Homo-oligomer: A and B are copies of this chain.
Amino acid sequence: MSDLDEVVRRLDALEAIEEIKQLKARYFRFVDEKKHDELEALFTPDADLVTDGISFKSPQEFADTIRDLTGAAPSVHHGHMPEIQITGPDTASGIWAMEDLLTFPAGEGAPDGHRGYGQYREGYKKVDGSWLIDSLVLTRFRVDPLDNWVADD
């Protein structure tokens, strides 16, 4: 391999890491901006999705669940301190710290909201030139209760 080929290989890896960070940034942003169709499109169609031990059948079920549960209630989801590893030409893995503030509309039978702290372990796949989330396991290790959300008058 020439010196220039080696340089290009290293550049490819750095660019891939940045692209995956921005992929995950859109993930959090689309959840909180309530862009659920755009959220669904960030995953491979057969992505494995597990949050706190609950598995989802598809990215669509994942996005629909978030849409149905949160409604108009504002939510906050932030990722921190990524550890992205490029594991092949079109594959990568990542670990992220997570903090979220998840409330649900008040009402009979409304689930409890929380401020939560946890960790994502993920796999990524490059498909047609774009990085997508291919697997996601979210584990929260601290959850503090939060009041349900009531719309302003």
Q: Which 9 A-B pairs have the closest CB atoms?
A: A25-B81, A78-B80, A74-B142, A76-B117, A25-B83, A22-B83, A74-B141, A28-B81, A10-B11
Interface set, chain A 59-90, CB cutoff 8 A to B = 74, 76, 78-84
Chain A contributes a number of interface residues (CB within 8 A of B) equal to 35
Please give me the residue from chain B that is nearest to A77 by CB atom: B97
A151 at the interface (CB under 8 A from B): no
Which of A18, A80, A81, A82 is packed against the most chain B CB atoms within 10 Å?
A81
Q: A residues near B, CB below 8 A?
A: 3-4, 7-8, 10-11, 14-15, 17-18, 21-22, 24-26, 28-29, 32, 74, 76, 78-84, 95, 97, 99, 101, 117, 119, 141-142
